[in-house]
Amino acid sequence: MVTVAQQVAGVALTNLPAFCRVVGTISPSIQFELWLPDAAVWNGKFTQSGSGGLGGYINYTQGATSRDGMALNLRRGYAAAATNQGHAFNTTDWMLAPGLLVDWAYRANHEVAVRAKSIIASYYGSAPRLSYFEGCSVGGVQGLMAAQRYPLDFDGIVAGAPVASSPAWVYNLWVAHALYKQAGASIPPAKLPVIYNAALATCDANDGLRDGIISDPETCMFDPNVLLCSTADNANCLKAPQLQALNQLYGGARNPRTGAHLSPGFSVGSEPFWTPFVSVLRPQGSAVSWYTWAVFEDPAWNWKTFDFDADYQHERTKLASIISTEDPDLRPFRDHGGKLLMWQGWADATLPPQWTVDYYKAMIDVVAAEHPNGDGLQLTQDFARLFMNPGVAHCTGGVGADNFDPVGALEKWVEQGLAPERIVATKFLSGAVQFTRPLCAYPAVPFYDGGDPHNASSFVCR
């Protein structure tokens, strides 16, 4: 039995089967680990885990509700690997080095995959018969990066909340500008329930059931302008500057000169998770670090000066060739036999969910252009499927059913040819099942069909 200290949370992992722990470094500073279960329990397969944020740590696990991480995969019988992407956690100097940026963006995961398979072959006497990658947030971005740049590395990829880094970061700045650069535009956290309840009143019942969950934000016709204060400001309405900011949050980031869309906005129904954005007078997440060091290389850079025309173009010119995961042409991955399972919570307020939907639509367009007389959606679903999780926040949490097994669904698809039409997800509270819901292969949406509203069998995908 080996006990490993979890690097980020400082929690010791327990209940691990016996395994051989390989710790390695790939020049210049890509650290990785490979855990090899006993030959008697090895399932003959390999899985690599991505990591969130700006990386810098090895993803042993991400908590009790995690759907990724080395510990989970080891318990499933996999040879499991992960990497720190070539730098230490919570540091910034690597963003000033183009080579280390490349390691973080794509080289580290590829190099680890190649070396891990070689070590596995030496250790067991045979190479893994199948290789998988799974991750959420930037881990999901890493999954898309692997499918785009190294289509032969993996047979199956789970990419959760895989919003491309550049649109996500520019949107983070857009939110801060909308809320804090105009007098009176800031929305107090106490008014988020007012916005959320108004959205629910408009769209909650569209799926046939009022349950506090908006199943299809894309078709929700919520008009925020109904919240405009008719007289004096009060707890149940928004002043004109606040309403203008709200429309900007939903509308997404745009180039002020051309009107071009730079990033989608928050989805209707995600309002309960806006608190980190509306309660502090600055951008959230890693956007400030990214622009300070990688984009402008200026420790005195001020986010309030960001120009959504010139500065955004500067970032794209300088770094898109390294970090972009926006190429929707995954035909080389498809032709290798690869399967891609994408997913994201519709209530995700960290990374705009509509980007993932739009990327998937772009994939369909690529395939449709290749087969003008065929069904582009069906041909895309032959190798890539998207599951949007109503009411679910960033990777986990929210009012929706946030606990499910995408790796298990991917295994059945790759190994048995059983393409997932719906995946049953569960909502737990204090360890007890509250309800189950189907996650439907996009563009299908769950609709209540009668019966027990707490049971996924009472919903159909259409």
Active site residues: 137, 348, 394
- What's the CA gap between 393 and 400, in Å, rounded? 8
Let me know: does 293 contact 286? Beta carbons within 8 Å: no
φ and ψ of 114, to 5 deg: -65, -45
Of residues 194, 196, 137, 126, the one with CA closest to residue 163: 137
Let me know: does 103 contact 85? Beta carbons within 8 Å: yes
- What's the CA gap between 54 and 101, in Å, rounded? 10
Tokens 């680990």, located at residue:
33
Let me know: does 345 contact 355? Beta carbons within 8 Å: no
Coil, strand, or helix at residue 214? Answer: coil
Tokens 């994408």, located at residue:
342
The amino acid sitting at 223 is D
Distances (CA, A) of 401 to 139, 374, 404, 436, 438: 21, 35, 8, 6, 9
Q: In this structure, what token pair is assigned to residue 319? A: 């770094």
Encode burial over 415-431: b for 16+ CB neighbours within 10 A, e otherwise. eeeebbebbbbebeeee
Q: In this structure, what token pair is assigned to residue 225? A: 């302008």
Alpha helical stretches, state H, 48-137:
70-75, 98-102, 108-124
φ and ψ of 137, to 5 deg: 65, -130
CA angle 25, 163, 131 (to 5 degrees): 45
